[in-house]
Amino acid sequence: MRYDVIEAASRVRDIIFPVFTNGTRIDDDCLSLLDRSRNVIPIFSLEGDAAKTDVRRGEGVYAAVQKAMSRLQEKGILFGVSITVTTENMQAVTDPSYISNLRNMGCGLAFFVEYVPVSEQTEHLALDKEDLAELGNAVSALRGDMSDMVILSFPGDEEAMGGCLASGRGFFHINSVGGAEPCPFSPYAKYNLKSCSVLDVLQSGYFAELREIAKNADTHNGGCTLFQERNKVATLYAG
């Protein structure tokens, strides 16, 4: 949708930019840019098979992704997938045959993203503690079997990194109007990059207090830590 942003990223050769996409806009121009700019890595959003992907992403999206993957493989261009893991698809998307098939298509990265119930009446899709433990074991096994791929779990892998990485501890999220949010699942922006610098945001008292909230929070039970503590975050934002 914003090809100019991808072009700008492609010019910064010493930084890797994973670009998360539904895969429907990989046309000849985009393919040419990705071919000459190997620091830009497309990451395709999938929910599992064609039926599950199209239900959430729109009819025909799975086929579009398959076509884009095939074209990238022909060019030898690295790409990855981002799989939203729910109680309904966890078994299927962590099956070694599913990931092996993606690898055979040229996929070199796989992100397993735990579903966050941001919409009402979808709480049943979020993984509970037992599910999270099972996902962690499955991801560890996949890493062992497919050492030539990068396989990550989010936010599950944050535990190995000392907890929540939001609010500038490891990353923060910039929304479509320039607002600096602690993370995509915690959309409370007190600062905007149109009027302040990245350094201002990172050194702000607001982000410092958010990091403390995450640090003192209980282990999350499905979804991200700041989403679980959203009432505290909202209070801090309004204060």
Distance from C-alpha of 25 to C-alpha of 64, rounded to nearest angstrom: 9
Q: Which of 72, 17, 222 is nearest to 8 (CA)?
A: 17
* Bigger pLDDT: 10 vs 236: 10
pLDDT at 65: 95
State residue 193's pLDDT score. Answer: 96
| Element holding 44 (H helix, E strand) | strand 40-46
Mean pLDDT of the chain: 90
For β-strands 40-46 and 17-21, DSSP reports them as: parallel
Q: Which of 152, 225, 123, 153 is nearest to 183 (CA)?
A: 225
Q: For 83-123, what is each residue's pLDDT tens digit?
A: 999 999 999 999 999 999 999 999 999 999 988 877 778 88
What number is the average pLDDT over the span 140-164?
83
Q: Which residue has the higher pLDDT, 176 or 157?
A: 176
Q: In what order do the strands lie in the sheet with 191-192?
A: 173-174, 179-181, 191-192
Burial 120-141 (b: 16+ CB within 10 A, else e): eeeeebbbeeebbeebbebbee
Backbone angles phi, psi at 211, to 5 degrees: -65, -35
Q: Is the pLDDT of residue 219 over 60?
A: no
**3-154 belongs to which homologous superfamily?**
Aldolase class I (3.20.20.70)
Query: How is 164-220 classified by DSSP, letter by letter?
Result: --TTTTS--EE-TTSEEESBTTB---SEETTTS-HHHHHT-HHHHHHHHHHHHSPPP
The residue-averaged pLDDT of 22-46 equals 95
Q: How confident is the model at residue 142 (pLDDT cuts 50, 70, 90)?
A: very high
Q: Domain map of the chain by residue range?
A: 3-154, 173-238
**Range with lowest mean pLDDT among 5-9, 104-108, 233-237:** 233-237
What is the tens place of the pLDDT at every residue in 49-74? Answer: 999 999 888 999 999 999 999 999 99
pLDDT in tens, 181-206: 998 878 899 999 999 999 999 999 99
What does the pLDDT read at residue 42?
97
Residue 168's contacts (CB-CB under 8 Å, 6 or more residues apart) are 182, 201, 202, 207, 211
DSSP 8-state assignment for residue 78: -
pLDDT of residue 160: 65
d(CA 213, CA 90): 29
CA-angle at 119, arms to 65 and 19, nearest 5°: 30
Residue 150 has pLDDT above 90, yes or no: yes
Confidence at 179, pLDDT banded by 50, 70, 90: very high
